[in-house]
Amino acid sequence: MFWPMFAIAVGFLGLAVLGVLAVRVFLEAQRLGRQVTDSARRINRAAEDLERATVHTARSVDAL
């Protein structure tokens, strides 16, 4: 009777460990999503700055 109870206890322990790992993966995925969003904003801002600089440079060349 000991071994079946031990197997059930180990099974529940395994499920608990998998649950903890699932929560950690979920939190890391959220953190990664926030980093990707922040990086996309920074890239868009840099692209806008580059467009403004290009327009300014084109006007300077046209003035010559």
Domain boundaries, the chain: 26-64
Cα–Cα distance measured from residue 57 to residue 22, given in angstroms and rounded to the nearest whole number: 52
Q: Which helix (H) or strand (E) holds 64?
A: none
Q: CA-CA distance, 16 to 22, in Å (whole number)? A: 10
Give the end-to-end CA distance of the chain in Å, rounded to a whole number: 94
CA distance 23 to 53: 45
The 3-state DSSP class for residue 63 equals helix
pLDDT tens, 20-53?
A: 999 999 999 999 999 999 999 999 999 999 999 9
pLDDT of residue 62: 74
64 has pLDDT over 80: no
pTM of the model: 0.67
Q: Could you tell me the pLDDT band of residue 61, with boundaries at 50, 70 and 90? A: confident
